[in-house]
Chains A and B, each alone.
Chain A
Amino acid sequence: MAVEIGGIGHSVKRKEDARFIRGKGKYVDDVKLPGMLYLDIARSPLAHARIKNIDTSKALKIPGVVAVITGKDLVPLNLHWMPTLMSDKQMVLPTDTVLYQAQEVAAVVATERYIAADGVDAIEVDYEPLPVVVDPIKALQPGATLVREDREQKDNHIWHWEVGDKAGTDKAFKDAEVVVKQDLYIPRIHVSSIETCGIVASFDKVEGKLTVWMTTQAPHAIRTVIALVAGHLGLAEHKIRVISPDIGGGFGGKVPVYPGYVLAIGASVLTGAPVKWIEDRAENIQADSFARDYHISAELAAKKDGTMQALRVKTIADHGAFDAAANPSKYPAGLFHIITGSYPFEKSFVEVDGAYTNKPPGGIAYRCSFRVTEAAFTIERLVDVLALELKRDPAELRMQNFIPPTAFPYTSALGWEYDSGDYGRALRLAMDKIGYAELRKEQAAKRAKGELMGIGISSFTEIVGAGPSKNFDILGIKMFDSAEIRVHPTGKVMVRIGVKSQGQGHETTFGQIVAEELGIPVADIAVEEGDTDTAPYGLGTYASRSTPVAGGATAIAARKIREKAKLIAAHLLEANPDDVEWKDYKFQVKGVPAKSKTMQEVAFAAYTNHPQGMEAGLEAVDYYDPPNLTFPFGSYICVVDIDRGTGEVKIRRFVAVDDCGTIINPMIVEGQIHGGLTMGLAPALYEQITYDEQGNIQGGTFMDYLLPTAMETPNWETAKTTTPSPHHPIGAKGVGESATVGAPAAIANAVVDALAHLGVRHIDIPITPWKVQKILKEKGVAE
């Protein structure tokens, strides 16, 4: 029975696969409208320059070029700047100065994609180069090149943010028996979903209605932003329809509003024709929001016996030319203060300063919930540094310090209330699965022979599911999410939700939640999302919030339906509602299983035979404001071998034990973990974006921005423990990002562990073969 229903806990095959495996997915670049024009963007080759002149004459002479838009054209429309999500503003097109390489400078609108590209090539811009600052530490020094002349404040400091007990923490450090300190740089990276960003904007002049197909993880918020930014042009929210079609991966990169979107909408409003803009990969990497770029200095105070006591962290956050981060408004450094991790620090103090540089604006998450990876990487690296200092086994030191399972709900030194956890159980399982003790023996034997292998652990705690309205909003909009469920007379169901899948399989998993709650087979449940004309308002899918927030809304909306259905069932069973119970996916008269009604029978009655005085129909809406965040956790163990000749790091094994509370679909959860691990591997060993002193991006295409292939990616081994969230309607915590958060530290710890006997304590990621080989040479062990 339960298998047919396909409710919670079943590996139901995905419904959305049917179109994707046939090449029938509908992504934004697949949208083609009659008379559609194409927009392409000319970008700055310089990182900081005065624009002396833009000559568009040659471009306009190309047959098929309809228009060229420059910043000056946008001034009368007041569209040359737009607000960011972080109370900063960002240029749509510059009127006089460019602030980073690849910044949008002009847009060409043409009848064909190829002609638009020719038009971009024909635009001549006369630039006068200005001094460039790419290092946020230099940017914050007095006399540094000023990035933002438009601000009243004439330096590159954006904001200072701090949390925790400074005095108490300082005292704890003063009194501490052992203090370890580590500087870490977590480099700039880019989500690089395989689909880039794009939009088709279609403005109907007669109806005054704008329809937008757009690669956005948050369609409703985008609609509101368009209404707020372009309201003065006559675009009202009831005449704006934002459709998120199928999305080819998001990972946070499809949360912000990029200038190209605004330009396409503007071009459609001006021309009255549909306008498509699809960025290429270089534009995607070079101009769209980056992630990370945190310069961290972290200290940990402990007792000689290994008891961790206090944590002090100072960070400089590089935001590029505009603070275009996608964080909840109250948290300019996101949820970085989850940095106390899985450990019961008594005192902690964290401060972060934001800086402007001549680099593209951001930053967003990279498959993580607002700076959680930066936090998890720092604490898990620091624990290993402490283990080295105290000559302790890193697993044992973690076991000694974990917040005990009995302490939950647990309030951290920085104020988060962790919902539930059993960290020791997860680590023990990982150790058993990988054969930790045996590996340590093998390592000792290998060391004796001069061979290098390392074992790295990461026991992370994540914070997801933003979030409770008392603390969480974006541009003032509270971070609830929603579900609307309609049960049709024949017992088939339509579910609409405020989030938007980018591959997570919502059409299947949200159906499973409803199937579980209503006893209707998942095959009979359609899930729709991403169209603001039909779906209820929600804040979208990022930060692992779909299941914790919209999942909660879905379960509660289904329960509202079940409450009403119970009254109808009682009516049909001629019983007192109090005598009717929901059991085995049916309404039964208590103690008389033979007297029962299925949800399908009840649904039919809701339209054909409902009790007198009751409204007809069977539907419900819920806007769910979560009482708290959820705190998934896990323990990962990685084994690496190092080539003493080339410095190459080879991952031999990687075991991931995750605990994301109640699992809706084990198959999908495992898939999410595999993908997350690979996006944890990527920055640990391969991906980074750097800039030279002139602000030239290094690593701006897939030739140099190194996404792992199937050959670099190990065969991930996964396992799970289940510690449900006590406050979530179905006990689920969210899982899409855990592995990306937890994996980098396990890999870095493994490499450092392989070299620890040589006195190595830290290597900044990405751990390239030349970084390793340099150490091998310095330590005299290179081949």
Chain B
Amino acid sequence: MRFEGTLDIAAPRDRVWSFLTDPKQVTTCAPDVQSLEVTDPHRFKVVVRAGVGPIKGTFTMNVEFTELEEPGHATVVARGQAPGSAVEMRSTMDLAALDGTRTTMKWASDVTVSGMIQQVGARLMQGAADKITQQVFSCIKAKLEAPVTA
């Protein structure tokens, strides 16, 4: 499954970049995070719960930033498993500064689900993955556009 989109974020590019490439910050927008372990600046392990209705899986994801070209381009590979299933998500993000306060983010994500979820829940996956992806990106936008409270 491939998902892609473009997002206009009312925040400077540096801020967007640091948010997206910081495991601690970016995972605040992942669905229902159970735990986060940062291995090194480029790698982290996050446990999330995601799904639709009663169908909800706990996914243990190993995430790696495979390309980091500050401040404009990043590639992330997330691989993980849920009971009887495996998930792989390869995402790219390209940031362009519109001006000093606004950033355009182009993103694309290839998601592969294998195993039990694919076999039994294939008819739900497209919709669920689409919905979760939308939630993640609207959360990113919302958080970056929120007034800095610190």
A residues sitting closer than 8 Å to B (CB atoms) are 43-47, 101, 121, 124-129, 282, 694-698, 700-701, 703-704
Contact = CB atoms under 8 A, between A and B. Distances in A.
Q: State the 10 A-B residue pairs at the shortest beta-carbon distance, nearest first.
A: A45-B115, A45-B86, A45-B114, A696-B118, A121-B83, A45-B85, A700-B119, A46-B114, A46-B86, A696-B114
A120 B79 CA distance: 19
A124 B119 contact: no
Contacts of B81: 45, 124-125, 127
Contacts of B114: 45-47, 101, 694-696
A44 B81 CA distance: 10
B84 A43 contact: yes
A255 to B, nearest CB: 26
Contacts of A704: 119
A701 B119 contact: yes
B6 interface: no
Most A CB within 10 A of own CB, among B88, B112, B115: B115
A695 B114 CA distance: 8
A496 B71 CA distance: 80
B148 interface: no
B119 A129 contact: no
B86 A701 contact: no
A42 to B, nearest CB: 9
A726 to B, nearest CB: 51
A604 to B, nearest CB: 64
Contact of A703 (B115, B118, B120): B120
B60 interface: yes
Given A45-B84, A121-B83, A127-B79, A696 B120 contact: no
A46 B112 CA distance: 10
Nearest to B84: A45
Contact of A45 (B60, B62, B116, B120): B116
Interface in B7-65: 60, 62
Contacts of A121: 83
Contacts of A46: 86, 114-115
A45 B80 CA distance: 11
Interface string B67-109: 0000000000001010111101000000000000000000000
A698 B88 CA distance: 19
Nearest to A692: B118
B: interface residue count bin: 10 to 19
Most A CB within 10 A of own CB, among B79, B85, B86: B86
A101 B115 contact: yes
Contacts of A695: 114
Contacts of A700: 119
Interface in B103-135: 112, 114-116, 118-120
Contacts of B120: 701, 703
28 contacts: A45-B81, A45-B84, A45-B85, A45-B86, A45-B114, A45-B115, A45-B116, A46-B114, A47-B114, A101-B114, A121-B83, A124-B60, A125-B81, A126-B79, A127-B86, A128-B79, A129-B79, A129-B86, A129-B112, A282-B116, A282-B119, A694-B112, A694-B114, A695-B114, A696-B114, A697-B119, A701-B120, A703-B120
Contacts of B118: 696
B44 to A, nearest CB: 14
B15 to A, nearest CB: 33
A52 B120 CA distance: 27
B81 to A, nearest CB: 7
Given A43-B84, A45-B115, 18 more contacts: A45-B86, A45-B116, A46-B115, A101-B114, A124-B81, A126-B62, A126-B79, A129-B86, A282-B116, A282-B119, A694-B112, A695-B114, A696-B114, A696-B115, A696-B118, A698-B119, A700-B119, A703-B120
A696 B86 contact: no
A189 to B, nearest CB: 17
A704 B118 CA distance: 13
A282 B116 CA distance: 9
B141 to A, nearest CB: 31
A121 B81 CA distance: 10
Contacts of A128: 79
A51 to B, nearest CB: 12
Nearest to B112: A694
Nearest to A703: B120
Contacts of B84: 43, 45
Contacts of A698: 119
Contacts of A47: 114
B129 to A, nearest CB: 15
Nearest to A121: B83
Contacts of A694: 112, 114
Contacts of B116: 45, 282
Contacts of A703: 120
A128 B62 CA distance: 11
A631 B77 CA distance: 59
Nearest to A699: B119
A351 B88 CA distance: 41
A701 B79 CA distance: 26
A688 to B, nearest CB: 15
B32 to A, nearest CB: 18
